[in-house]
Structure 1
């Protein structure tokens, strides 16, 4: 399971020209799932995300988490995070999980993230053509892969 975590001052998701979710200060998370992902991957990632100290403290040092600032989160599914570009110029998405595997894991990720955060998170729509708009604050962008924990 791979995530791209972006600290944002605002973010939104639009589907079919209708803004479906938006947040102010918080995190935008792009989530990619592979067939080998498990509940353990979810627990490891969500714990890391909610405790990730990427927000400024009173001294302006990145020393506080999303929980500390009571920030908001948007999660967007993105199978292209597992693209392989080893051969040619057209990315291969063969490693990305098919919807029958990915959707339950995506939903479990959201539930676990809400539990770890202690409040609801916003989401895009799995498989939809989404327009994601954000102002990356910093910029701060962290990439985590549950298969590279060590």
Structure 2
């Protein structure tokens, strides 16, 4: 699985002009299931993200996790993280998991983030979504399982 994490002050996602998910201080997690991914990769990634020390402590150092700060998460499916831009000018997405499997693993991953004790909301798989965020830092990290 591939994830792009953004530490945020706030984030929201809307479909057809209606906000369907949001979070306060915490993480916006853009996630893509790749071909061959299973629950094992989702479990590992969710566990790592929950413990990742990217929030500042009282000394201003990145030394606290989302769990330490009682932050929340907004998890958005984004198959474009699978983009292959090595040839030509049009990205290819053939390395992304097929839609049925991608949806299943996206929903599973979001549930695993919530199971870590993180208040979690989601977007809508396959929908045309409008995502708003206030990146805190900015802190943006790329992760792969």
TM-score bracket, shorter-length normalisation: over 0.9
- In structure 2, the partner of 1:105 is 105
User: What per-residue deviation string (whole Å, max 9, x for no partner) do you get for residues 74-107 of structure 1?
Assistant: 0000000000011110101111112111111111
Residue correspondences, number: 145
Give the secondary structure class of the aligned counterpart of 2:68. Answer: helix
- Correspondence 1:58-97 to 2 at 5 A: 58-97=58-97
Relative to the length of structure 1, the TM-score reads 0.93
Normalization by structure 2: what TM-score? 0.97
Partners of 1:132 and 1:120 in 2: CA distance: 18
Distance 1:119 1:51 in 2: 11
Alignment match, 1:27: 27
**2:55 alignment partner in structure 1:** 55
The whole-number CA distance in structure 2 between the counterparts of 1:61 and 1:128 is 37
Which stretch has the larger CA shift, 121-130 or 11-20? Answer: 11-20
Distance across 2 between alignment mates of 1:36 and 1:98: 10
* CA-CA distance at 1:120 after TM superposition: 3.6
After the TM superposition, which parts of structure 1 deviate over 3 Å for at least 4 consecutive aligned residues?
none
Between the aligned partners of 1:113 and 1:19, the Cα distance in structure 2 is 21
Q: Name stretches of at least 5 consecutive residues in structure 2 with no aligned partner.
A: none
Distance of 1:32 and 1:86 partners within structure 2:
19
How far did 1:141 drift? Answer: 0.6
Q: Which blocks of at least 5 consecutive residues in structure 1 are unaligned?
A: none
- Aligned counterpart, 1:133: 132
Match of 2:143, SS state, is strand
